[in-house]
Structure 1
């Protein structure tokens, strides 16, 4: 048996030569320095400090050396690996600082901005105008009354002295709710989408003892096409007053107060004869143009788009309640009289705020609603 090779020189092992270890160390340091971000540094770390890296493989060679050679080789490899780990830690700290600085710039938060970034909303102008009108009449002692939008024909037509042959009772003007019979029996269901809020007046007379003073706002339905001045669904407000001794003078005074409250002082009204089945006598109510105050009439130098230089704007229909309507509701027309009027809220909004297209009111565009804010 031969004796141990005590003269074995570890320098003869290629991986443990000092110059080879220095080369491995320098390659690792260069790779760390060249890493531009943490991902690249992680790849360099695996390549130069992992289990299959050159220095790790060289470290494995030390175990095969004789005892007297292991100390020097271990010290040489350990110093190289220590330098590599130190350089890796320094480069990682440097790249992390760069990343944090970049994030602070790219994801900076301006603390001076308002904390609430949700824009303020706005109520729909039709809602606020309707409530404004209600407030005017509630202050005069009127009560706000409501009723169903799908209404019986009797409340919508018969009780209002609108005969069975009246054009308004055809499918060309009224939406009929389909009956159980099917499509063919739809017109005979006896239920329609109310064409005005007058049925609420009828219900008010049936459920209240005179005197009755009510205002009836709400949605109504007619078979109109949606365009700049018409809509199949729109809002009306109607008024009914039934008491002893009421006359057209009371009606005129009520209308004058309403337009002054909504359009300002100095607005005059006038009544033009007309016909409605549910009022007798009946009239169309006009108010003087709130823009030109009549100054544009016959004056080509001062034209007015609001009233088309006519000086007056039509608001709606009115009149004294037809005695036949009072009788249908069980009210004695010999003892009581009444007056009523109604107008479209959309039309009133168009007058007050120069809205030219009714479609703007129903399309839901916040750019139309927001300028009105919370109040009109």
Structure 2
């Protein structure tokens, strides 16, 4: 069998077909420098005919910059993460940047995966993966510090950060439980290797210390639906049943609700008031009507874009840090009656 090598299409061939200079082709695609509308139309028509696409990575390296923003998330099936990454990718693209999603394992191999795939410089990285520390990603971001959404960085790391004010939303939840006559509580925390494990636990304990609500027992889940079910089973076997249960994310709370209702015949929220965290879209479905502590994707994305804008305008050497608010969203099935 005879294999015919495909001829490489480059900017020079586009220029020849369009009848313009090589630099005019470059300016047409980069947007840098003046080029007439007529010339740009010729270049794009010739590119379409030849099937030419400029090498954005090579162009960035030639300019000693990059427009690539890596979105580094974990491999856990997280409903919220899907919507967040989609919305953030769209916002970055609309702002003239190129989003690159990387999913790494939430264990020690996450950093190894990162080094295998990132063999080119980034503008920056937005890091939410549990397993990735600042030191793993800083070398890949020569143009702007990585933006950490987790707490895996030290005081001396050159990073920017977006953090959640979990104290506010959790405090509102505790106040609501007290106002509706609840007196006892169970808590299901998330995976112990995550920053959310300690931050949400501490915020809850601080809020409880200012209230008469009593924490009877606690368990640890893994942010999955099934782990919420398993954690609730362990708590239920130990008893006694509290007035309310707070779960560190909505998926675990949904597992708790279904087990309580369909296995043990409990009425939710009458016998057991269940609260989640994240306020994912499914929380508002009538099947769950799940009260939740809301962190808005739009607020986090705006904070990320603000950091990138400040870096572009020359923010200097100081760390940029943004605090995003949370709020408690009470929700009942009566809303759907």
Q: In which range does the TM-score fall when normalised by the shorter chain?
A: under 0.3
TM-score, normalised to structure 2's length? 0.25
Ranked by relative contact order (alpha carbons within 8 Å, sequence separation 6 or more), the top structure is: 1
Q: Which has the larger radius of gyration?
A: 1
